[in-house]
Structure 1
Amino acid sequence: MELFTAIWTTTLGTVKDVIPIAVIIFGFQFAVIRQKPANLAEILFGFCWVLVGLSLFLLGLEWCLFPLGRLMAAQLTDPGFIRGALEAGDLAADVAWTDYYWVYIFAFMIGFSTTIAEPSLIAVAIKASEVSGGAIGIWGLRIAVALGVAVGISLGCYRIVAGDPIHWYIIAGYVLVVLQTAVAPKMIIPLAYDSGGVTTSTVTVPLVAALGLGLAETVPGRNPLIDGFGLIAFASLFPILSVMAYAQLSELRSAVARRRKEDAQHRA
């Protein structure tokens, strides 16, 4: 009964949240555009599946992803795990940021894997490849964004462990973004800025947020409210840098290949 009660409660909450969106869309469709969609039945049927999917997804977040992220952070930062040979009670004040290397490795891997699986990134990569005529590879863009997210989350975890102010990291990161924008290929700049946004979506955000909160709750001297949030900002910032770097490397590789071809033709 608890399962059905939770499903029903979550579904009702989802319906309340989605109804304003439906009212705006259908209101503009019928009151402003004044045209009936040709596939109205399919749209309504798909809308029902959206409600079901969102409800189940929210339940999954609450029952699985958030607890799992906090559990992994608690286990990886447990002093007994870090220095298993000693008593955990004697370690809390003795653990340095370098001893949390498993946290950084886990953050890198979870950031990379969740971004690769991000549906919004897949959609953007497919459209970018279509619009560019294949000049922007689907997997190339996805891997570049995933590496940026992985590095950003790892650095964000280090910030939580070290207790550094977040604003210096963000300021330095956007200074690099501005400098890199000046030299990056113009074709990739808008896509790079969008790539920072599409990473913070359905798959990445729940795990990253849970990881940050769990890390701030278990690292001695950290405040979950002050230190637990901010990882998503890192996950949005660093893909901008990595995508522009991917374009610059691709452009450099093309220039080198073109130069070699010209040299070969000149020798012939």
Structure 2
Amino acid sequence: MADVLPDIPDASPNLNGLKIMHLPLLRVVSGALASLLLTGTADAVADDPLRPVPTGKTALVDNPIYKTGELEPQNCPEPPVRHVGSAKGAESYLAAILKCLDKSWTRQFAKAGLHFSTPKLKIVTRSGVDDGCGEFPEGAQAVYCGEDKTIVVLLDKAALDDADSLFLFQVIAHEYGHHVQEYTGISHAFFYWKHPTTKAFRADQRRYELQADCLSGAFIGSVRHSLDRSKEDFAYLRLLGTDSSTHGKAKNQAYWLTRGFQGKGPGACNTFAATSRVS
């Protein structure tokens, strides 16, 4: 795929006066990583697969999910967040978007011939509380817990104040990307790859996180026609990243989000085979 952007405005500091929020970085605790941290062992990647879940390098660079084409278009109108600043309203909003994600990715896994189950959603309102994989980490907006296949979202003041943008939409789509990685064998292959150094691990961790950005973009692009949003709303998402040793440079986060948005499918998101834009 060519290194180009879709027909949305380039990210700019003001976006025609649209207020820009500086929000916490997204983080992930995958099934393999959670098991390593908490128990020293790993759970199975998927139960009773329709075909063998790929392993090792094949899972990372030649995964069958990459060959499934675009996500099938579906209508996913956003329900109104009745009261911006309300955790209850934002939770209902996220639950509705989760149903759309479930429908899209269930179809995609069927095309890949891989077993799939939909994730659960859990809401927390502050860091430090038990989220099912331990304490919800400080500085995170959301985590994916592979142990119990749950997306955990922090609905703090920053997120609730920005609930009328596409921010929460992208948050849950990104964490769903980690759920996709879990069931395709990508998570297991990444976390059990024999990285010779911490530096090498971090390099692949950035590929892992950038892939989740791309998968979120693919979903958003596939339902874009049903969203009552302006180009500026989509462009806003490209401004939310911050440079990170674990998640990559902000410009690369924006690139992979946009690449997925344009490609509308996981085939655009093979960050493990990419030779650039993964730092």
Q: Which has the larger radius of gyration?
A: 1
- TM over 0.5, yes or no? no
Structure with bigger strand share is: 2
Q: Name the TM-score, length of structure 1 as normaliser.
A: 0.27
Q: Name the TM-score, length of structure 2 as normaliser.
A: 0.26
Larger RCO (CA within 8 A; separation ≥ 6)? 2
